[in-house]
Amino acid sequence: MGHLLVIESWVGSMSRLLPRAVREGGHEFTFVTRDLHHYLRSTPADGPHPLLAARNILTTDTNDMDVLLPYVEKLHEVLTFDGVVSSCDYYLPAVARTAERLGLPGPTPKAVEGACRKDLTRRLLADAEVPGPRFAVCRDWSRTQSAAREIGYPLVVKPVDLCAGMLVRKVSDEAELDRACRALYDFPVNARGQERAPVVLIEEFLTGPEVSVETVSFDGSTQVVGVTDKSIGGAPAFIETSHMFPAGIEPAQTQAAAETAVRAIEALGLDQVVCHTEVKLTPAGPRVVEVNPRPAGNRITELVRHVTGVDLAAVCVDVALGGQPDLAVRPTGVRSAAVAFLLPDEGSLPTRTDGRLTAIEGEDSVRQEPGVLELTLAEPGRTVRAATSNNEYLGHVMTADTEGGGARETAERLLSRLRPRYEPRTAVPA
């Protein structure tokens, strides 16, 4: 039995999947956070928050490495940890530095920081000649203007250190570029109280389908578990609206995407880690969008498990403990699995910007449909805003196809039967 130190977590599905994987693997964990109330605000309706299953729940400043590292060293002397892990992107560098300080398994801090900072990723991959978009890292408006002209419109504006598609925008001219950059500079601190880097990443706008490659790296080699496809909506934002595993693309495209992802992981020096690498399949070939040194979110981890029997949350635990991950594919009877996400319909919101959710019609009939694996919907009373990132989902439906690659079509068809209803959040003048 291993004892894991878990440093922070997301409050979504991975906050359930990771503790479950720890428990089912016969292990235990100590949870360290700077703000326990951050998680208790999202306590599930069907029981206590899964993070409360920890052997210990402790509080310290997880944003300050000069505080965190001495603290966990003292904890280690008493509690003896066998591995360190987090499901939250913002704390992956802290996990890597903690593992290094305690002499525990894990990727090097340099490799993780190179993956988590999108500007560093771009430079490292370019140096290694791993294909990606043309890009520029900008610290002032003059440089941004000139770089945009060199790359050419349309282009993509990105923060270098946010997640879930936050403030990523396609821009078509200099006026849109200015608005996108101002939005970034007006958001100097992330949701976890960490100061953001005051730089802007601008990139060539890539065309073609986008996929993600799910991999596991250990003992110096990387194994591809599979490739997931995705649908994107919400322009000019980039919101993930659905995923299917395995990807509904040609075998040659699957192989090319997988090979490109492995090259990117190797170029960054990542090992002892589960990765979720996003790749654009352009007419000129695969191009790396980003490399995430953690299991896939947005229920992709569960899609993989339903089809292959490989539990990437459990694999993440095994790798963090320095063990041999179980990557054996098992018959599940499922040929494809898909998830489709319910987004607020901007046109139906009371003020076109926000409202209060009163109901989601169609739930009962969708839940009874064959092939539905999950149906999770937001509770009435939630404040709803027009979607600008993956953070505004109102729920999802997950489906399985036992015959072939039809899971996405089923998921999207059932999603269309779910109809959110709203009322004004505040009184609207007549």
pLDDT for the residue numbered 408: 97
pLDDT for the residue numbered 49: 82
Strands (E), 239-326: 239-245, 273-282, 285-292
Domain-located, residue 120 = no
- Residue 190 clears pLDDT 50, i.e. is over it: yes
| pLDDT bracket for residue 424 (50, 70, 90) | confident
Whether cis (ω within 30° of 0) applies to the bond prior to 236 is: yes
Number of Cβ within 10 Å of residue 360's Cβ equals: 18
Question: Could you say which of 309, 332, 355 is where a domain stops?
Answer: 332
Residues 232 and 327 in one domain: yes
Nearest-5° Cα angle at 160, 393 to 59: 70
pLDDT tens by residue, 289-300? 999 999 999 999
CATH code for the domain of 177: 3.30.1490.20
Total domain count, the chain? 4
Domain-located, residue 221 = yes
- Residue 430 clears pLDDT 50, i.e. is over it: no
CATH code for the domain of 407: 3.90.1170.60
Domain-located, residue 126 = no
Q: What are phi and psi of 313, to 5 degrees?
A: -65, -45
| pLDDT bracket for residue 349 (50, 70, 90) | low
Residues 219 and 328 in one domain: yes
**Which strands make up the sheet holding 155-158, listed edge to edge?**
135-138, 200-204, 155-158, 169-171
Number of Cβ within 10 Å of residue 418's Cβ equals: 20
Domain-located, residue 113 = no
**pLDDT higher at 420 or 354:** 420
pLDDT for the residue numbered 51: 86
pLDDT tens by residue, 66-118? 999 999 999 999 999 999 999 999 999 999 999 999 999 999 999 999 999 99
- Residue 429 clears pLDDT 80, i.e. is over it: no
Residues 6+ apart with CB under 8 A from 47: none
Mean pLDDT of the chain, nearest integer: 94
pLDDT for the residue numbered 428: 44
What does 10-64 look like in DSSP terms, one character per residue?
-SSTHHHHHHHHHHHTT-EEEEEES-THHHHTT--TTSS-GGGGSSEEEE--TT-
Domain-located, residue 96 = yes
pLDDT for the residue numbered 12: 77
Q: What is the pTM of this model?
A: 0.94
Mean pLDDT value across residues 181-186 = 96
Contact (CB, 8 A) for 192 and 63:
yes
Give me the percent of the chain exceeding a pLDDT of 90: 88
Domain-located, residue 114 = no
Domain-located, residue 122 = no
Domain of 390 in residue numbering reads as 335-429
Tokens of 217: 């790296």
Tokens of 110: 């340099």
